[in-house]
Amino acid sequence: MIKFTFIVTAIVLYSNLSFGQINLNVDASVSNLLRYGNGYEYSGNIRNAKEYFENLTDARLNVNGVIFGIRYEVSDPIEYGLNFVGIRKRYIEYNHEVGISLRAGDYWETISRGLSLNVFEDRPLGYDTGIDGVRVTYNKTFGKKNPFRLKAQLLGGDIEYSDYLDPDRIERYKVRGAYAEISPLKPITLGLNYIYSTGELPDQDVLTKVTSDVPEVNLSYTTQDFEFYISYAHKSSIISPNSIYTNSLTGLGDGIYSSLSYSFGNVGLTLDYKNYRFDITLPDNRSNTRPTRMLPYQNPPTAIKEHTSVLISRNPHVVDFNDEVGGQIDVAYVPSDKLSFNFNGSIASRHYQYTDTDTTANISYQRTERSGSFLPDLDDPFSPFWEFYLEGEYYASEKIYTKLAFARQSSTLYNQLNPLSSEKLFTSTIPVEFKYSIDEDYTIKFTGETQWVHNSIRISEDKNFTNQYLALSLQRSPNVTLTFSSEFTSDDEEPSGKNSWFLGEATYQINQSNTVGVSYGTERGGLKCTNGICRYVNPFSGFRLSVATQF
Amino acid sequence: MQVKKYITGLLLFLSIIISSLFFQSCESNDSTLTNNTPASNVPVLQQPENNSTVSTLSPSFNWSGVNSASSYTLQVSESAAFSVLILDVQGITSTLYSPAPNVLNDSSTYYWRVKGVNATDSTDWSSVYGFAVSLESINPTNKVLVELYTNTSCIPCVEANQYLDVINNNTGTTINDLNVIILRVHTTLYAGDPFYLYNQEDNNARMSVYPGTPTSNPRGYLLGAFMSNFSSSAWTNKLNEKLSVTRSFAVNLINTYDPVSRSGNISVKIKQVSGETLSDLVYNVALSESEISYSAPNGETLFENTLRDLITPPSGQTLNISAGQTNSYDHNYNIPAEINHDHAYITVFAQRTNFVSGVKEVMAVERVKIR
């Protein structure tokens, strides 16, 4: 692939520079991010020394419209994943005014809403499904009075996906894709995508080979205040037999996502619906390393709210794209310039319940069919989740801003073998935010959150406990922010054994190009999710430093 | 007009959702973990295998069950004609029997057979298997060690525990359930696990062998290799693959135990049969307990193969050995009063301490019942 990249690079350069008089127009930019941490990480109550040093330098050079990009990375030791020193990313990109865009090297891409392809990087989670290959895009609008828009894209390349639970385990995929999107009338857009991939999933010395097809069709209808979108993707994965999967296995699955949003007056409404069935299987065969599961390069919308509140996001709902149905409603109401409200309600569950039909010690699960499997079910065997969130923001004056919210979450993790011992988690959270501008330079912000939790699998008789989060922040415009935050819990069964955490943070923007951030203290850790990708972040105590530089 | 447009859009959206009612999704579904032993009208002998050599005076006799039998009769003789019986045990209600250590003799050859019995009739005798007893023999086996990291508040652990319980009960889930030696390590995933709290030092030591085990359960390790997240069909195939391979090391155990003083001695012999000399080997002597009753938050009530103590140091005992060499070790131990010595086992396994291709390989494993 590297060789191919260089060939493409040479062709592009030649074609761009060899015609007409050479008139170099050069534009360069460099950004650098240094991250350093030193302290202790807690795994359960085991304390391990933790130190990381990461330096990411992204350079971008634009020569007459040909863009060269490179990322040099020193991650030794890395915070999450495998140590790396060297060139992590490199690409060359060319955009022509006729609407053609060519990129060779590393890139990320999202096709429509991501049901068939959505590869991205999330550095804080140590997650990267970027493609190393080639992407050609043609995007053109014809006509002005009745414009006809066409977008076509071909892409191919390799993905190396490192399992965050087991970073040494790297799944390798070769991906080929073709996408076409047409807009014959201004409000209507129809997209067709096809992804073909071959993958190798390692399991010690055994490789499981997976051949997959993922076609997708999507349709959107958009006007000034109304938008409707629907997408359907089908996945077919064929597993070649090996010592782990002794028979050839074909995993079929699909997913629907639909969204409707419209606004009238000072109200905005959004409805999301998801029905993901990419790998529905029996309870004792569910695994996030199953070769027939949804592919790592797929990442559909989660259709749940992503919160900024520390405590609400402490117990995120982990979307199971292989078996989940549900949706959300989001309403924004802005009665005045100073006052706004947001309501969000979401619901999700598995599609089916299962029963053990074997009367001996063995287990033989059988699915209970239901006609309403296109809707979520709140009965415990479906491991349901629901959430209710209401938020109000009020600008009392130019100096005073307040926010008050209430969230109620309920999630059940069904215990198939011991149903009465299913894990039920109920939380009620009230976040409050108050910001006061003392003068033109200084602003003080207070954030307070209180959460009441009921957890059914706590050992002690008292299964209720509370969490509190308090943060006080002083900002000196435009370049200094000091924050002191603390968190408390009355949970006697907190895995780390602690019941309080304190953290001091300072951010200083030295100039337009350089920003330094330092923190010292203890961090509670926990499950953290972005776009449905979740990882457990261990509690940490110690010192962190980040320096961001932009030239 | 605007309102009409909105209503039209809303109806369109709802119609799409409702159309899902008629949408026939195609999806995958796997076979279950059930793997029943075929029915037979006479018991089929399993262990000791025919013409095998055992290195214990108390081998486990095991056979496949017969549906019509309510109990079994086991006979052991020094002659293939069963003219003189060393053992004639009637009324065995399981398909497993271990004789007392004073019945069989070292350096002897025996034959054994089984028949099923019910209230009115009995089956024919099974075929006859012969085996030799040689305490000096140290032969590599196909036995595998499965370490399961679990927690009494962990809901997803229940499926994995149940799966291993089924194997532990010798139901024929794998090609040889008896050769699957299970050790369950309880973790810090949720606070308050009594089996973790019973011996934090040794549970911590085993957790530190494999990163991720304190915060992600269940996690299974087969001969030191992560088994991937629990999936009964995938785990069965992985077990079968390893069960069909003979280890390159062998472990022989001779246990003596005084139930009055609740103390004993385990004599360990470890032989490297083949392969290069490894500089990062340790061996571990682990005490485990089964049939522990406890009403756990995750609904489990019976706990098998639970790690109770590492008789060797928590990080293992250094093992310097090379191909063709046999090392002998002795370890004295005591069984605390809170452990039921009738359900206690000693498991010995040799393991590498460095990861090679992501694996801290367990070279061999053997297990013996305390009494």
Q: Could you tell me if residue B232 is inside a domain?
A: yes
* CB < 8 Å to A245, chain B: 234, 237
Residues B105 and B205 in one domain: no
Q: Could you tell me if residue A437 is inside a domain?
A: yes
* CB < 8 Å to A524, chain B: none
Residues B178 and B275 in one domain: yes
Higher pLDDT, B43 or A14: B43
Give all strands (DSSP E) within A163-248, no chain letters: 170-183, 188-203, 206-222, 226-239
Chain B residue nearest residue A276, CA to CA: B25
- Joined tokens for residue A93: 């990109």
Residues A325 and A270 in one domain: no
Q: How many other CB atoms are found less than 10 A from the CB of residue B359?
A: 18
* CB < 8 Å to A372, chain B: 21
Provide the number of CB pairs (under 8 Å) joining chain A to chain B. Answer: 215
pLDDT, one tens digit per residue, over B109-120 is 999 999 999 888
Burial class (CB in 10 A: 0-12, 13-18, 19+), A137: middle
Say whether A8 sits in a helix, a strand or coil.
Answer: helix
Q: How many other CB atoms are found less than 10 A from the CB of residue A437?
A: 17
Q: Average pLDDT in the B211-222 region?
A: 88
Residues A141 and A156 in one domain: yes
- The pLDDT, as a whole number, for residue A429 is 97
Q: Domain of B127: which CATH number? A: 2.60.40.10
Chain-chain contact of A413 with B357 (C-beta, under 8 angstroms): no
Chain A residue nearest residue B223, CA to CA: A204
Residues B150 and B57 in one domain: no
Chain-chain contact of A258 with B216 (C-beta, under 8 angstroms): no
Residues A289 and A323 in one domain: no
Structural domain of A37? 24-85
Helix and strand numbers, DSSP H then E, in chain B: 5, 22
Residues B75 and B172 in one domain: no
Q: Which of A43, A253, A284 sits opposite B159 (nearest CB)?
A: A284
What are the residue ranges of helices labelled H in chain B? Answer: 2-19, 156-168, 194-198, 200-209, 232-243
Q: Which of B208, B238, B357 sits opposite A46 (nearest CB)?
A: B208
Q: Could you tell me if residue B8 is inside a domain?
A: no
Cβ–Cβ contact A256 with B under 8 A: yes
Q: Could you tell me if residue A4 is inside a domain?
A: no
Cβ–Cβ contact A422 with B under 8 A: yes
Q: Which of A43, A284, A417 sits opposite B299 (nearest CB)?
A: A417
Chain-chain contact of B241 with A243 (C-beta, under 8 angstroms): yes
Domain limit, last residue, from B80, B103, B133: B133
Residues B91 and B220 in one domain: no
- The pLDDT, as a whole number, for residue B121 is 87
Residues B202 and B60 in one domain: no
The whole-angstrom distance between B104's CA and the closest CA on chain A is 33
B141: phi > 0 → left, psi -120 to 50 → alpha, else beta; which?
beta
Domain limit, last residue, from A45, A65, A85: A85
The whole-angstrom distance between A532's CA and the closest CA on chain B is 18
Alpha carbons A86 and A76: distance in angstroms, whole number: 11
Residues B340 and B209 in one domain: yes
Residues A309 and A405 in one domain: yes
Chain-chain contact of A287 with B226 (C-beta, under 8 angstroms): no
Q: Could you tell me if residue B2 is inside a domain?
A: no
Interacting residues of B108 by C-beta distance below 8 A, sequence separation 6+:
B78, B132, B133
Chain-chain contact of B237 with A494 (C-beta, under 8 angstroms): no
Chain-chain contact of B189 with A44 (C-beta, under 8 angstroms): yes
* CB < 8 Å to A271, chain B: 13
Q: Could you tell me if residue A3 is inside a domain?
A: no
Domain limit, last residue, from A85, A105, A126: A85
- The pLDDT, as a whole number, for residue B22 is 45
Burial class (CB in 10 A: 0-12, 13-18, 19+), A86: exposed
Domain limit, last residue, from B133, B164, B188: B133
A532: phi > 0 → left, psi -120 to 50 → alpha, else beta; which?
left
- The pLDDT, as a whole number, for residue B335 is 95
Q: Could you tell me if residue A13 is inside a domain?
A: no
Question: CB–CB of B129/B43 below 8 Å?
Answer: no
Q: Which of A44, A258, A282 sits opposite B13 (nearest CB)?
A: A258
Question: CB–CB of B160/B137 below 8 Å?
Answer: no
Chain-chain contact of B33 with A363 (C-beta, under 8 angstroms): yes
Residues B151 and B286 in one domain: yes
Residues A282 and A326 in one domain: no
Residues A72 and A106 in one domain: no
Residues A72 and A107 in one domain: no
The residue length of chain B stands at 371
Residues B348 and B247 in one domain: yes
Question: CB–CB of A490/A465 below 8 Å?
Answer: yes
* CB < 8 Å to B238, chain A: 203, 243-244
Residues A201 and A328 in one domain: no
Higher pLDDT, A165 or B7: A165
Q: Is the pLDDT of residue B126 over 70?
A: yes
Question: What's the domain count of chain A?
Answer: 3
Residues A132 and A256 in one domain: yes
Chain-chain contact of B358 with A204 (C-beta, under 8 angstroms): yes
- The pLDDT, as a whole number, for residue B171 is 85
Residue type, A511: N
Question: What's the domain count of chain B?
Answer: 2
Nearest in space to B56 (alpha carbons), one of B122, B114, B134: B134
Q: Could you tell me if residue A216 is inside a domain?
A: yes
Chain A residue nearest residue B172, CA to CA: A362
Q: Could you tell me if residue A293 is inside a domain?
A: yes
Residues A246 and A318 in one domain: no
Residues B162 and B92 in one domain: no
Q: Could you tell me if residue B172 is inside a domain?
A: yes
- The pLDDT, as a whole number, for residue B76 is 95
Question: CB–CB of A273/B19 below 8 Å?
Answer: no
Chain A residue nearest residue B236, CA to CA: A244
Structural domain of B363? 144-369
Residues A118 and A48 in one domain: no
Q: Could you tell me if residue B17 is inside a domain?
A: no
* CB < 8 Å to A537, chain B: none
Peptide bond into B214 cis (omega under 30): no
* CB < 8 Å to B10, chain A: 260
Q: Give whole-number Cα distances, B90 to B70, B87, B187, in Å.
A: 11, 10, 43
CA A293 to chain centre: 18
Q: Could you tell me if residue A19 is inside a domain?
A: no
Q: How many other CB atoms are found less than 10 A from the CB of residue A478?
A: 9
Question: What are the φ/ψ torsions at residue B238 (nearest 5 degrees)?
Answer: -65, -40
Confidence tier at B13 by pLDDT (50, 70, 90): low
Nearest in space to A471 (alpha carbons), one of A308, A271, A320: A308
Alpha carbons B97 and B90: distance in angstroms, whole number: 11
pLDDT, one tens digit per residue, over B302-340 is 999 999 999 999 999 999 999 989 999 999 999 999 999
Q: Which of A43, A206, A226 sits opposite B5 (nearest CB)?
A: A226
Interacting residues of B81 by C-beta distance below 8 A, sequence separation 6+:
none
Q: Could you tell me if residue B341 is inside a domain?
A: yes
Q: Which of residues 478-537 of A touch B (CB under 8 A)?
A: 492-495, 497, 536
Q: Average pLDDT in the B184-204 region?
A: 92
Q: Give, in degrees to the nearest 5, the angle at Cα B323 between B319 and B328.
A: 45
Q: Could you tell me if residue B16 is inside a domain?
A: no
Q: Could you tell me if residue A400 is inside a domain?
A: yes
Domain limit, last residue, from B101, B133, B165: B133
HSE toward the beta carbon, residue A332, CA cutoff 13 A: 12
Strand B144-150 relative to strand B180-186: parallel, antiparallel, unpaired? Answer: parallel
- The pLDDT, as a whole number, for residue A123 is 84
The residue length of chain A stands at 551
Chain A residue nearest residue B244, CA to CA: A243
Domain limit, last residue, from A301, A319, A349: A301
Q: Which of B16, B30, B228 sits opposite A230 (nearest CB)?
A: B16
pTM above 0.95, yes or no: no
Residues B314 and B351 in one domain: yes
pLDDT profile of chain A (551 residues), mean per 10 = 48 48 80 95 82 95 92 93 92 91 96 95 88 95 85 96 79 96 91 96 86 96 94 95 84 96 93 96 86 94 93 91 96 95 97 88 87 94 96 94 97 92 94 94 96 90 92 93 96 85 96 93 88 85 95 82
Whether ipTM tops 0.90, in short, is: no
Q: Could you tell me if residue B126 is inside a domain?
A: yes
Rg of chain A's alpha carbons, rounded to an integer? 26
Question: CB–CB of A138/A216 below 8 Å?
Answer: no
* CB < 8 Å to B27, chain A: 252-254, 277, 279-280
- The pLDDT, as a whole number, for residue A181 is 95
Residues A117 and A147 in one domain: yes
Cβ–Cβ contact A47 with B under 8 A: no
Residues B110 and B149 in one domain: no
Q: Average pLDDT in the B69-78 region?
A: 92
Cβ–Cβ contact A466 with B under 8 A: no
